[in-house]
Amino acid sequence: MIRPKPAQEIAEIATIDMERIVKIRIARGDFTERSVNGRYGLAVMTSPESSGDTSHAQSMRGSAPAVSIILTVINEEEHLRAAIQAALNSDYQGELEIVIAVGPSRDNTRAIADQLAAEDSRVYVIDNPTGKTPDGLNAALQNSHHGIVVRIDGHSEIDADYISTAVQTINETGAVNVGGIMAAEGITPFQSAVARAMRSPIGVGASRFHTGGEAGPTDTVYLGVFRRSAIDEIGGYDSDFIRAQDWEMNYRLRLNGGIVWFNPELKVTYRPRSSIRALARQYFEYGRWRRVVSRRHTGTINFRYLAPPVNLVLTFFSLALGLLLHPIFLIPFTSYLIAIFLASLMIGTNWSERVRLPLVLMIMHFSWGFGFISSPRTLVSRS
């Protein structure tokens, strides 16, 4: 958009009073500190009365580092607008830009992204021709400019104070990446059951970014708020990792001497998959690519990642031997089913969730386990 000079704009809209002109230009971002400094060589002065007299806003104003928000999307028409709107509604006092890398989509994702960019000059849209997540993220990194990088997702909505709290955490801890809780929340009954499973240790293990926990150093976090310099030092996201790119990059950040920090005050609303097939595919890919990470970076595997494949093998042999040889072999299989049903009763908050949770939990466990076991070495040539 070409912005007219102040005198031209006033002359062209002579019938509109000055107050309306000022409101239009404030909404458009013409009077941010950077815009005024760059155009007029002046500094912006803001009074507590006009901006809201809060100590947080006063401390951040004028000193908050500029932030780049990046995401890559494909076939995300259902949730993209909400994700971007949540980011734009942030209470962060510093300058921000949003770069959306859009892959080849079968729906209206690109049209929605272009519309969002037309509505707000802080939003930019670029192409991600391959549609691969790491390629899109790297393209967004290359087309963004600021020293703090906030990764969001087309399925997610950040809280209003997410960025300001994350930047404060980076400054206080010296971390190169900080993140918080992946707060899964469903819209449909099936999604609600999946969300309940994703926030329970029996569904995803004792991962702090799923289930919560104390603040401190950790292996990985959901999405993340990074120092750009740290990302540049390790070469960005590894394009080989179509999935598990977060875990893999956080490993290299830590290997390079950086701290990855979990802060439970940071929450990102996540919308789970809406069908059995989509959920099974998601967790199959999780398991498949976590095996690739373990091959590439030896010594990174632990019991939490081995539990699903071990459970799958044990359940399969228990059922086969119990049916073919003797019922006593059904004990492990029966024990697993009992545990799943009891857990569903405990973690479900209503009967709609409790009825769906046994199937949801088994899909998550078995899909992840089968993906891990069947993961071929050819997924990544160097793995």
Q: What's the confidence (pLDDT) of residue 26?
A: 45
Q: Cα separation of 127 and 310, whole Å?
A: 41
Q: Cα separation of 344 and 308, whole Å?
A: 18
* Six token digits for residue 105: 């989509």
Closest listed residue to residue 247, CA positions, set 195, 198, 302: 302
**For 66, which DSSP code?**
P
Chain Cα centroid distance, residue 26:
30
Q: 3-class SS at 79?
A: coil
303-324 helix and 351-374 helix, angle to the nearest 10 degrees: 100
What sign does the dihedral 214-216-199-358 (CA atoms) show? negative
Q: How far is CA 2 from CA 9, 28, 49, 118, 223, in A?
A: 12, 12, 32, 13, 34
Q: 3-class SS at 258?
A: coil
DSSP string, 131-144: --HHHHHHHHHHT-
DSSP string, 29-56: TTTSHHHHHHHHS------HHHH---HH
Q: What's the confidence (pLDDT) of residue 8?
A: 37
Residues 173-202 pLDDT 10s: 999 999 999 989 999 999 999 999 999 989
Q: What's the confidence (pLDDT) of residue 83?
A: 95
Residues 239-287 pLDDT 10s: 989 888 999 999 999 999 999 999 999 999 998 999 999 999 999 999 9
DSSP string, 8-19: HHHHHTTTS-HH
Element containing residue 178 per DSSP (H, E): strand 177-184
Q: Cα separation of 308 and 325, whole Å?
A: 25
What secondary structure, in 3-state letters, does 195-218 show?
A: HHHHCCHHHHCCCHHHHCCCCEEC
Chain Cα centroid distance, residue 80:
12
Along the chain (383 residues), what's the average pLDDT of each consecutive run of 10 residues? 37 37 41 37 34 44 84 94 95 95 94 96 96 95 96 92 96 96 92 94 82 89 95 94 90 95 93 94 93 85 86 96 95 96 96 97 96 90 57
Q: 3-class SS at 368?
A: helix
- Domains in the chain, CATH or no CATH each: 6-45 (no CATH), 63-274 (3.90.550.10), 295-379 (no CATH)
CB count, 10 Å around CB of 133? 24
